[in-house]
């Protein structure tokens, strides 16, 4: 599989790389590591990387200023999708994907649709960055590539806390640390540090939260009105759902925030074995057993009520 991917790279001249919309640490780390790796190992290639947006906290990543965020109609011989389970989630980059002569899909989501010419996904890997590390020549993984990969692995494992963390994950993290990366700084700046506005939103969402289903689930929401009040945008809501789940007795957390007039994003987290991805899939979303998300359009109250009924029946199974 490894060979098939690098053969595609060798046979291409222009290579486009992208991940999913609303990119997270694993998506940014994976795409940027691939960008730096191809530039290093195949210097005759023209490579570009596209993100829908680049959260400020990832600005330390080498080469990130070269990433494109304004979608331009570009042609690529080869398009590499990373950390994306479904071509829909490529957003604007989907056009690039469809026009490319050849496509590669590298991921770790169990729900991956195998939508490319070459599909490589390892559902037992913690992150796409872990999958990529196994594909790279370890000697070529330098400081900058290691920083990308460590970012992705640490973010997708909740800093090595989630059950997707394996012995191999820790070995890889150790090998990346050996490259001299400042892991304390990476974790502090990209994972733990919050802006004042983010903390205000977290505080408000905790205050407004409700315990339901015999206190097994905590649910809260951020409305556009609330976000306006604190000058927050949707990037300021990262981590709220995880913080809510970190409550004694909570088996699941549901966080809803407003995307548009009649559009709401729902993030689902579970601490036990209740399957959040099954619920998200019912509403056209996806994700993992313990962390998933979907979008509800139209009547938010009715949509949320039906989703919570699904959650209740999911909890009855465990």
Instruction: Decide whether 120 or 204 has the Cβ nearer to Mn ion.
Output: 120
Query: Least distance to Mn ion from the beta carbon of 121, Å?
Result: 11
CB 234 within 8 A of CB 259: yes
| Helix 167-177, helix 143-156: angle, nearest 10 | 150
Instruction: Decide whether 109 or 204 has the Cβ nearer to Mn ion.
Output: 109
Instruction: Decide whether 119 or 223 has the Cβ nearer to Mn ion.
Output: 119
Instruction: Decide whether 161 or 211 has the Cβ nearer to Mn ion.
Output: 161
Q: What gap in Å lies between CA 77 and CA 46, rounded to an integer?
A: 10
Query: Least distance to Mn ion from the beta carbon of 76, Å?
Result: 22
Strand order in the sheet with 102-107: 46-50, 14-18, 78-82, 102-107, 118-121
Q: What gap in Å lies between CA 274 and CA 251, rounded to an integer?
A: 8
CB 112 within 8 A of CB 136: no
| Residues near Mn ion, by CB under 5 A | 26, 83, 127-128, 156
Instruction: Decide whether 127 or 220 has the Cβ nearer to Mn ion.
Output: 127
Q: What gap in Å lies between CA 53 and CA 69, rounded to an integer?
A: 6
Query: Least distance to Mn ion from the beta carbon of 83, Å?
Result: 4
Q: What gap in Å lies between CA 242 and CA 202, rounded to an integer?
A: 10
Query: Least distance to Mn ion from the beta carbon of 209, Å?
Result: 27
Query: Least distance to Mn ion from the beta carbon of 145, Å?
Result: 17
Residue number, nearest CB to Mn ion: 26
Query: Least distance to Mn ion from the beta carbon of 25, Å?
Result: 8
- Enter the DSSP assignment of 189: I
Residues 6+ apart with CB under 8 A from 199: none
CB 312 within 8 A of CB 254: no
C-alpha 161: how far from chain center: 16
Instruction: Decide whether 154 or 209 has the Cβ nearer to Mn ion.
Output: 154
């Amino acid at each position: 599989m490894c060979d098939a991917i690098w053969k595609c790279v060798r046979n291409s001249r222009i290579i486009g790389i992208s991940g999913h919309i609303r990119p997270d640490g694993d998506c940014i780390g994976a795409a940027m590591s691939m960008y730096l790796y191809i530039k290093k190992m195949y210097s005759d290639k023209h490579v570009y990387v596209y993100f829908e947006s680049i959260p400020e906290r990832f600005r330390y990543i080498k080469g990130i200023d070269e990433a494109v965020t304004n979608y331009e109609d570009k042609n690529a011989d080869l398009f590499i999708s990373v950390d994306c389970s479904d071509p829909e989630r490529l957003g604007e980059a989907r056009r690039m994907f469809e026009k490319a002569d050849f496509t590669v899909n590298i991921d770790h989501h169990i729900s991956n649709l195998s939508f490319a010419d070459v599909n490589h996904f390892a559902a037992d890997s913690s992150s796409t960055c872990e999958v990529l590390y196994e594909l790279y020549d370890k000697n070529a993984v330098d400081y900058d590539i290691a920083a990308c990969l460590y970012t992705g692995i640490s973010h997708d494992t909740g800093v090595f806390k989630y059950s997707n963390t394996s012995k191999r994950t820790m070995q890889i993290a150790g090998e990346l640390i050996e490259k001299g990366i400042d892991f304390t700084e990476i974790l502090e700046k990209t994972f733990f540090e919050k802006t004042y506005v983010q903390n205000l939103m977290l505080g408000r969402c905790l205050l407004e939260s409700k315990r339901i289903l015999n206190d097994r689930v905590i649910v809260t929401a951020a409305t556009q009105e609330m976000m306006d009040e604190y000058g927050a945008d949707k990037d300021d809501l990262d981590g709220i759902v995880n913080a809510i789940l970190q409550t004694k007795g909570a088996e699941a957390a549901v966080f809803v925030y407003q995307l548009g007039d009649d559009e709401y994003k729902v993030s689902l987290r579970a601490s036990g074995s209740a399957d959040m991805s099954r619920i998200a899939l019912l509403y056209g979303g996806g994700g993992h057993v313990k962390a998933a998300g979907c979008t509800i359009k139209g009547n938010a109250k009715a949509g949320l009520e039906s989703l919570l009924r699904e959650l209740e029946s999911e909890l009855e199974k465990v």
